[in-house]
A = this chain, B = another copy of it.
Amino acid sequence: MKQNRQQKDQVMKMKRVTIYDVANYAGVSLATVSRVINGSDVVRGNTRQKVEEAIEKLGYKPNAIAQGLALQKTTTIALVIPEASFTYTGQVINGLLDVAKIDKYNVMLHTTTEGIAEISDIIENIIKSRVDGVIIYNDRLTQSEINELNQYNIPIVIIGNRTSDKKISSVFVDTERAVYELVKEYLERGVRDIVVLEDRKNNNASRLMANGAAKAFEEAGLSFEGFLRIPDEYRTTYKFMNEYMKTHRHELMLANRDSQAFAILNAAKENHIEIPTDMELVCVLDTKYNSMVRPEISSFAIPSYDLGSVSMRVMTKMLNNEEEENGKEIELSYLYTPRQSTK
């Protein structure tokens, strides 16, 4: 069978070239080759040269798997994001990958599917693949699941939620405060009929938004009752809003994603509600499509790319055992950007 493997390799054209081949070709020991590829400075220039030539000649590429075994580290991190969130996480991923590339880390992508309880499979998988760290977008993972990972003593960075622990750091934007500040301002202007629309795809974001609004109301001596749930029987935000707006209208509506705001926009139009004249509209997260609708939705400029790049940077630092980086909570700032959907 060993024979078989080698034979097959022959047939398949070229045998994988290993560190042995290089050592042989260069007439040195494999230890020396190892030193060269790892940039050790004890190797004599002359020897180094020979080895480098051999590497070049043979087209040798170190086997990262073998290195991983020997070194007990894979220079790979796992990224876990909710499936179907690419529209909003695209920039986050780009930021993350750019930094990963610089630091020579590989990224293994895992997605969590809504509703399906296979998260434990993903965790199992992550453990088996011995990645050096895990970056998790959003709160799809419950505390207990995160704890399970944490047990394995593997550094974790959470994107989007403020959390921290011994080996857990987080990078996020304070949505709650963003909404709080906005609502507060409207309240001061005398606007009271404010509604926060639920985002069924992101409970946590919804909760934070509602909390922010509630806090502002509270401070004004009022109580907030404007959290608008989308009943299960409506398949889309648009369908619900279209129905809802036949009998309801508000002064200000807040949505999480721009796509929800667009749905509101269309439903409003259908119901002859003028935006921003009759109702104002703001969303938290937007995409490039927001510059393509009329009116453009006022939103918070969330630094998505940075959310990703900073996370990866934090991860690298944790991996380099810069202890002070552990358990950090890094808040990135947002910027409210008024557009045509507000007065």
Contact = CB atoms under 8 A, between A and B. Distances in A.
A316 to B, nearest CB: 17
Contact of A97 (B14, B83, B107, B292): B83
Nearest to A90: B86
Contact of A61 (B97, B128, B288): B128
Interface residues of A, number: 57
Interface stretch (A26-34, A64-72, A176-184, A333-341): A64-72
A140 interface: no
B109 A153 contact: no
A266 B287 contact: no
Given A64-B129, A125-B106, A128-B63, A287 B87 contact: yes
A332 B72 CA distance: 43
Interface string A145-169: 0000000010000000000000000
A248 to B, nearest CB: 21
A293 interface: yes
A68 B66 CA distance: 9
Interface string A85-119: 01101110110011001000011111101000010
Contacts of A273: none
A318 to B, nearest CB: 13
Interface of A: 5, 12-14, 61-66, 68-69, 72, 74, 76, 79, 83-84, 86-87, 89-91, 93-94, 97-98, 101, 106-111, 113, 118, 121, 124-125, 127-130, 153, 238, 259, 262-263, 265-266, 269, 287-289, 292-294
Given A13-B153, A101-B121, 9 more contacts: A64-B130, A65-B68, A66-B69, A84-B91, A93-B109, A98-B113, A106-B129, A109-B109, A262-B293
The 5 closest A-B pairs by CB, nearest first: A86-B90, A262-B292, A109-B109, A86-B86, A64-B128
30 contacts: A14-B153, A61-B124, A61-B128, A64-B128, A64-B130, A65-B68, A65-B130, A76-B108, A83-B97, A84-B90, A84-B91, A86-B87, A86-B93, A87-B87, A93-B109, A97-B110, A97-B111, A106-B129, A107-B108, A109-B109, A238-B292, A259-B289, A259-B292, A262-B289, A262-B292, A263-B292, A265-B292, A266-B292, A269-B294, A292-B293
